[in-house]
Amino acid sequence: MTKVEDIWVYLAASPLFGLVLTLVFFQIAQTIYRHFNHHPLLNPVALSVLGIIGVLALFDINYETYFEGAQFIHFLLGPATVALAIPLYQYRHTLKELWFPIIMAASFGLVLAGLSAFWIAQSLGASIETMLSLVPKSVTAPVAMGIAEKNGGVATLTAAFVVITGILGAMMATWVFKLMRLEDDRVKGVAIGVSAHGLGTAKAFQLSDQMGAFSGLAMALSAFIAALILPWMMGAL
C-alpha cells in the first residue's frame, strides 16, 4: 500500500477528513477560478460543493461522517457574523450620510426576496416548512439559519438555500449590472450585499474596493434588519 493510500485510510477514519476535504477542494477551486480569470461560472464555492459531493457519493461516505470535521469551519460562522460589525464601524461616516437610502434598500430588498421566494415555492406546491426556509435565503448563513429555526423553517435547508443564493448572485451580478446599465459602485455594492450576502461581497471586492466596502456594509445591515423584520413576516405568512 502506498503512502498516499495510507494517508487516505487514516483521514477517512478521522474527524479531520471533512476539514481536509473541504480545504483541499476549496484551494483547487480557487486555483481554477484564478486560472480562468475569475469566470463567473467557475465560482470556487460552487466548484468546491460539487467536488465534495462527488467524493462523498463515490466513496459512499455519509454527511454525518463528513461533518465531524467540517463542523470546525461551521463553527467559524459565529465569529464571522460578529465581525460584520467591522464594516459598519469603518464606514460609519458614510452610513450617516446615506443611512436612509441604504436602510430602505436593504429593507425592501429583504422583504421582496423573501416574499417572492415564498410565493414561487407556494405556486410549485412546496411544503410550508420549505417555503418558510426560503424566506431568509438572502441573509448571511448564521443569521438566516437562526431565523428559520425559530420561525417554522428548517435550518439545514435554509443553509443550502443561502449557499445557492450566494453562488447565483456572485455568478450573475456582473451580467445584471451590465443589463441595468449601473455605473455607481456604491449602488452595485448595496445591491449585491443585500441579495447575495458574503459570497456576493467576495465577488464585489474582486470588482472594486468601493463596491466591496458597500456590499459588506449592506450585508451587515441586512443581517441586523432581517433579525427584526423577517421573524414577524414569517409569522404573518
Q: Looking at the predicted structure, is the pLDDT value of residue 13 above 80?
A: no
Q: Which residue has the higher pLDDT, 119 or 65?
A: 119
Pair 33, 47: CB distance under 8 Å = yes
For residue 35, name the pLDDT band (cuts at 50, 70, 90).
confident
Residues 156 and 192 in one domain: yes
Identity at 76, one-letter amino acid code: L
For the segment 36-59, the average pLDDT, to the nearest whole number, is 83
Same structural domain for residues 95 and 142?
A: yes
- For 182, other C-beta atoms within 10 Å of its C-beta total 12
Q: Final residue of a domain: which of 12, 42, 75?
A: 75
pLDDT, greater one: 138 or 198: 138
Same domain, 55 and 94: no
Alpha-carbon distance 165 to 43, whole Å? 12
Identify whether residues 65 and 91 lie together within a single domain: no
Q: Do 123 and 214 share a structural domain?
A: yes
* Domain match, 43 and 56 both: yes
Question: 198 and 105: one domain?
Answer: yes
Q: What is the mean pLDDT of residues 37-65?
A: 83
Q: Are residues 67 and 104 in the same domain?
A: no
Q: Are both 66 and 88 inside the same structural domain?
A: no
Stretch 217-231: mean pLDDT? 85
**Do residues 141 and 178 share a domain?**
yes
The structural domain count of the chain equals: 2
Spatial CA neighbour of 136 closest among 116, 119, 158, 151:
158
List the domain range (segments joined by +) for residue 24. Answer: 3-75
- Cα separation, 197 vs 189, in Å, equals 10
Helix (H, G, I), strand (E, B) or coil at 84: coil
Length of the chain as a residue count: 237
Examine the pLDDT at 83 and tell me if it is beyond 80.
no
- 215 and 111: one domain? yes
Greatest CA separation for the chain? 65
Among residues 75, 98, 117, which one ends one of the domains? 75
pTM over 0.75: no
Domain boundary among 49, 75, 101: 75
Mean pLDDT of the chain: 81
CA 31 to chain centre: 20
* pLDDT (0 to 100) of residue 2: 56
State whether 134 and 226 are in the same domain.
Answer: yes
